[in-house]
């Protein structure tokens, strides 16, 4: 796992966006895994800037989102469909037919989830999966206790996640209780994982993910099992890391390392 600590949220977002851009520049038809929430907003803004100013092209790109709230229609202002449209898709040149987001309103969740998994495979698998982390250590909506080999399925949100996400809704009671989410096993099959975390309220979960045991109690810790997991943190999210000096040393020495 590569751990890169940057002074600010903006620098963290740029570094993570550069990974995505590098992949698109070598593989224009790459498959991207998308996350929602506050954390990837800066990353998406940077990709949009690269699209506008540097011609970063999305015409051949396919995307699969991690998750969606159950019960919210795509045009609901807090649905992840809406989030993606407003914060990313409408600003770049993606083909609408290449966008996949779990349905929060399907009549058959089981068969939808199976189809979603199949579709990822048919599209060649995910090249880069963008991730955030919950304050309880979740990735996507794989709450503590989720199997580390889980696949796309319906999940009940943890009460702490409902509280964390209440900031986006008028009332806490409006936060959906269920979500459809890629599993940890689904996520681990992506070729590269890029996880971003910002802010003090993520510091404990980040330390457990990076330096704690691999455990379903912090599903992000499963990134330790992935050969290409890259973690980008701002100063405050890195606040509880014990090996901080080593991560900084590796970052400083990286330009001189033999090319592999």
Which residues, other chains included, contact 59 with Cβ-Cβ below 8 Å and sequence gap of 6+?
28, 93, 94, 95
Positive or negative torsion for Cα 22, 27, 29, 33: negative
* Pick from 14, 116, 114, 131: nearest CA to 62: 116
Nearer to ligand F6R, 84 or 241 (CB): 84
Nearer to ligand F6R, 69 or 258 (CB): 69
In whole angstroms, the minimum distance from the beta carbon of 96 to ligand F6R comes to: 20
Report the residue number whose CB is nearest to ligand F6R.
132
In whole angstroms, the minimum distance from the beta carbon of 66 to ligand F6R comes to: 4
Which residues, other chains included, contact 158 with Cβ-Cβ below 8 Å and sequence gap of 6+?
134, 136, 138, 143, 144
What Rg value do the Cα atoms of the chain yield, rounded? 17
Decide: 148 and 117 in contact? Cβ < 8 Å: no
Nearer to ligand F6R, 134 or 176 (CB): 134
* Pick from 104, 110, 124, 111: nearest CA to 36: 104
Nearer to ligand F6R, 30 or 139 (CB): 139
In whole angstroms, the minimum distance from the beta carbon of 35 to ligand F6R comes to: 4
Which residues, other chains included, contact 44 with Cβ-Cβ below 8 Å and sequence gap of 6+?
87, 88
In whole angstroms, the minimum distance from the beta carbon of 249 to ligand F6R comes to: 28
Nearer to ligand F6R, 8 or 25 (CB): 8
Nearer to ligand F6R, 225 or 243 (CB): 225
* Pick from 48, 9, 62, 39: nearest CA to 130: 39
In whole angstroms, the minimum distance from the beta carbon of 11 to ligand F6R comes to: 17
Query: What are the tokens at 110?
Result: 């089981």
In whole angstroms, the minimum distance from the beta carbon of 257 to ligand F6R comes to: 30
- In which residue are the tokens 């506050």 written? 38
Which helix (H) or strand (E) segment holds residue 13: the answer is helix 9-26
Strand partners, 231: 3, 195
Q: For the purposes of burial, counting CB atoms within 10 Å of the CB of 83, is it exposed (0-12), middle (13-18) or buried (19 or more)?
A: buried
Catalytically active residues, by annotation? 67, 136, 138, 143
Contact residues for ligand F6R, defined by CB under 6 A: 35-39, 66-67, 132-134, 138-140
């Amino acid at each position: 796992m590569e751990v890169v600590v940057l002074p600010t949220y903006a620098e963290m977002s740029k570094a993570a966006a550069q990974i995505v851009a590098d992949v698109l520049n070598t593989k224009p038809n790459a498959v991207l895994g998308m996350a929602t929430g506050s954390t990837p907003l800066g990353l998406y803004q940077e990709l949009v800037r690269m699209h506008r100013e540097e011609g970063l092209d999305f015409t051949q790109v396919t995307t699969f989102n991690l998750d969606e709230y159950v019960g919210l229609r795509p045009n609901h202002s807090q649905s992840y469909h809406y989030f993606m449209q407003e914060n990313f898709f409408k600003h770049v040149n993606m083909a609408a037919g290449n966008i996949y987001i779990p349905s929060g309103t399907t009549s058959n969740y089981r068969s939808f989830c199976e189809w979603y998994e199949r579709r990822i495979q048919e599209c060649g698998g995910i090249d880069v999966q963008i991730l955030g982390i919950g304050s309880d250590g979740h990735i996507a909506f794989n709450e503590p206790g989720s199997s580390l080999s889980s696949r796309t399925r319906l999940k009940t949100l943890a009460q702490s996640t409902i509280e964390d996400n209440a900031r986006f809704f008028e009332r806490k009671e409006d936060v959906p209780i269920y979500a459809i989410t890629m599993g940890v096993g689904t996520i681990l099959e992506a070729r590269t994982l890029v996880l971003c975390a910002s802010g003090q309220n993520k510091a404990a979960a980040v330390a457990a993910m990076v330096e704690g045991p691999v455990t379903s109690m912090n599903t992000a810790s499963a990134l330790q099992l992935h050969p290409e997991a890259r973690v980008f943190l701002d100063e405050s999210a890195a606040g509880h890391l014990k090996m901080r000096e080593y991560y900084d040393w590796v970052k400083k020495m990286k330009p001189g390392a033999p090319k592999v």
